[in-house]
Amino acid sequence: MQNDNWGWQARIGLFIVASEAVPEAEWWAMAPPHVSIHAARIASPSPWATLANGALRLSDDLARGAAHFKSMRLDAVVLAHTTSSIVGGAGWDAAVVKALSEAIGPGPIVTTNGLDQQAALKALAIKRPFVVFPPWFGDAQLQAGADYFSGDGRTVEAFMRHDPGPGWRDVPPGEQYQRGLGFAQQVEPLYREILAKCPDSADGILIAGTGFRCVGILDALERDLGRPVVAANAASLWQTLRLSGIAPRVQGYGRLLAG
């Protein structure tokens, strides 16, 4: 009998950007046996829900995906979009968790990628992270991201936007993904740039962005920098496994998942 990837131990729902391949690829690479991943694709602009005067409105795609997830007997669901958490504003993550929990109904525990990354930083006792953002983040998103990951006794030591390399440097950040950078990403240059630019004063590294290909270099970075490294997709897998009652014990993708 062959493995059929049936999630009898845990079944996890993922809201991801409609045009991205990275989140599913990285999750399937890291997921332990008997855990299955099921994606709902969102084409709405960021953030995927709007919060105004205490009222939250889910985008049509997000509401539709939640309705589909309702009957899938999931154990955990994550809104796997770093950008939405960053630009959503104060209270956005909590409001989205509440609204999606109500829309999907009892059963799965809901979280967001932003909350997962913050929880991972806390679990690894990272107080002064060096935060690495994707090349398609604009200047305003960079600063908003640095502000988002500060607080709760944590201060962003430094942050950078990854250099996408020749052929992409002259493309405005907001146009890079739609021109195909999401499928042209290379992890070796990212590894070398983080190694060269990580300040000695940082006590850990956070690679933010679920569409930002990076999990293949987590072990190498931790070994060569001697510090813990958190990646967006690894953080959400770690968190949803825990929410599903599974102790993460995944080797090869950093100490967070190794347990």
Q: Where are the domains of the chain?
A: 10-113, 116-233
Instruction: State how far the alpha carbon of 55 is from the alpha carbons of 10, 91, 102, in Å.
Output: 32, 11, 14
DSSP string, 81-120: -HHHHHHS-TTHHHHHHHHHHHHH-SSSEEEEHHHHHHHH
Give the pLDDT score at 2. Answer: 87
Give residue 248's pLDDT.
85
- Tell which CATH architecture fits domain 10-113: 3-Layer(aba) Sandwich (3.40)
Compute CA distances 178 → 20, 59, 73, whole Å.
10, 21, 34
User: Whole-structure pTM over 0.75, yes or no?
Assistant: yes
Question: What pLDDT is attached to residue 91?
Answer: 94
Identify the pLDDT of residue 97: 98
> To the nearest whole number, what is the mean pLDDT of the chain?
96
State the pLDDT at residue 1. 77
Query: What pLDDT shows up at residue 52?
Result: 85
May I ask the CATH class of domain 116-233? Answer: alpha beta
Distance, in Å, from the CA atom of 43 to the CA atom of 15, rounded to the nearest integer, reads 10
CA distance 90 to 148: 9
pLDDT at 259: 85
Residue with tokens 């007997």: 73
pLDDT > 70: percent of the chain: 100
Measure the CA–CA gap between 122 and 114, rounded to whole angstroms.
13
- Can you list the residues of the chain whose pLDDT is less than 50? none
